Chain A
Amino acid sequence: MPDVPSTESGSQPQPVVLPDSQTWVDEFGSILFRYAMLRVNDAQIAEELVQETFLAALKSRGNFQGKSSPATWFVAILKYKILDHFRGQPAVSHDQPALGKDPIVDGLFDFTLHYRLKPCAEPKDPADDAQKADFWRIFRRCLSALPENYRRAFVRVTVDGGATADVCKELKVSATNLSVLMYRARSRLRPCLEKNWLGAAGAEGAAE
């Protein structure tokens, strides 16, 4: 019976146990897939990473301590797989576009470097917005309109967080280029969300 969690100290009840590995894919497959999709933005690669995660988890399920939820444990393994994946990727594909000009971001300003289109909408209460499915749909759409290197930098920095030095190493960009990527990502997301959410007078008016 390979699926019984290791019970060397049989008298001590574990706070959380891993469910039977037969159920993992159905129970956690899509959670892990979505997690990977946000980071790698490629369904085939995301599937492979999820696959590697489950196979690694199967091998090391004896190490599950029950200190975190099973989902958190699987995600922790997936994080390593994602790191591994990007470690094998060439740096140029991420670094190069950052060095060129971005006509969309530059186009926000006139020749005096003032805003061509004045920002006009006050942000709303974040906690309130976060409750609205429409907001996330629009956010996803604005995010997916970004060039991939901007998107990835933005997700890595704002969603995953952590030290800038680690982010630079992972994305294989200099600190200067990372700040350019972030500036451009924010500068494209801001007017997109202003137009489709902040200035759209509520969720209903902001349809696709």
Chain B
Amino acid sequence: MMISCKKAAELMSGKLDGGLNGWQRFTLKVHLSLCSACGLVSKQFAWLQRMAELADDESAAAPRLVDENCDLSPQAAERIKRLMQDQRSSASPGA
């Protein structure tokens, strides 16, 4: 009944997403108690999960997973400002 390291990795991933049944949790636990390589993989997966959660900071909008130099282009900014201006003037005729 000993599962493979590949199967163990699939179960670890499923566990992080909360999708394991009792039997799967049990077989994973047994495997991890016997296999040090997978024990380390399990720790690394948990760390990866935590890091991804930390990627979004308090402002809810500044993901550290996007290049900090990744800005809205000046052309797009100008276009959007123009469209907003159009919308403003059509909303208040005579302004």
| A residues lining the B interface (CB < 8 Å) | 2-3, 21-22, 24-26, 29-35, 37-38, 43, 47, 50-51, 54-55, 58-59, 69, 71-72, 74-75, 108-109, 112-115, 118-124, 126-127, 129-130, 135-136, 139-140, 143, 154-155, 157-159, 161, 164, 175, 178-179, 182-183, 186-187, 189-190, 193-194, 198
A90 to chain B, nearest CB (A): 25
* A164-B17 Cα distance, complex, nearest whole Å: 8
Tell me if A183 and B9 are in contact (CB < 8 A): yes
Residues of A within 8 A of B77 (CB): 25-26, 29
User: In the complex, which of the residues A26, A59, A71, A114 contacts B61, with contact meaning CB atoms closer than 8 Å?
Assistant: A71
For A135, the chain B residues whose CB sits under 8 A away are 51
Count of B interface residues, CB-CB < 8 Å: 54
Interchain nearest-CB distance for A6 vs B (Å) = 14
- Bound complex: CA of A124 vs CA of B51, how far in Å? 11
Task: Give chain B's interface residues, CB within 8 Å of chain A.
Answer: 4-7, 9-10, 13-14, 16-19, 37, 40-41, 43-56, 59-67, 70-73, 76-77, 79-81, 83-84, 87-88, 91-92, 95
Q: Tell me the nearest residue of chain B to A112, going by C-beta.
A: B4
Is B17 within 8 A of A34, CB to CB? no
